[in-house]
Structure 1
Amino acid sequence: MPDSRPATPAQLKVKEAMDARDALATALTRAGIQLPAMDIRTPWAEGARYAFVHLGQCSAPVAHALAEVITRGASR
């Protein structure tokens, strides 16, 4: 049975970050790029404004491929 309680601000921030991570992963996959790890990080401090999409580490070739895709998209 689904939880009928309203989501807390922190839960909404995590959901927003998860949706952004998933959208970015989909876009990168379409461009032929895969980052080794994409995760959600939360500062958990009182009053934290955001949950963060952590892109992890990537190799130099992947970083260059990502830069090329961004440059091509920015020039449109």
Structure 2
Amino acid sequence: MTQRKKALEEAERALGEMREALARAGITLPSLRLDTASYADVNPRPLVELGRCNIETARKITHALRSEAGE
């Protein structure tokens, strides 16, 4: 398996885990995806694109993060 393939599979796993965790918190980020340009290099470093969200979703994310941090 090539380094690019391994990096892409790991990024897809991380993306899926994030999508599932957000869903459990009642959060949907419609633009959540992999940034294809970030793994096109010879030494790929895939990035997860979180995209934009509305104010309600931003507050849900903030609440979930604060709850996890014990605030």
Q: TM-score, normalised by structure 1?
A: 0.80
Residue 61 of structure 2 aligns to a residue whose secondary structure is helix
- Paired with 1:25 and 1:65, the residues of 2 have a C-alpha distance of 14
Q: Matched residues, percent identical?
A: 28
- Paired with 1:70 and 1:47, the residues of 2 have a C-alpha distance of 32
What stretches of structure 2 of length at least 5 have no aligned partner?
Answer: none
Which runs of structure 1 show a deviation greater than 3 angstroms over 4 or more consecutive aligned residues? Answer: none
Higher RCO, 1 vs 2 (CA within 8 Å, ≥6 residues apart) = 2
For residues 6-62 of structure 1, the C-alpha deviation after alignment (integer angstroms, 9 at most, x for no partner) is x210111111111011001101111111111211114222333x1111111111110
In structure 1, the residue matched to 2:55 is 60
Larger radius of gyration: 1
Asked if 1:24 is matched to 2:18, the reply is yes
Residue 53 of structure 1 aligns to a residue whose secondary structure is strand
- What is the root-mean-square deviation of aligned Cα atoms in Å? 1.4
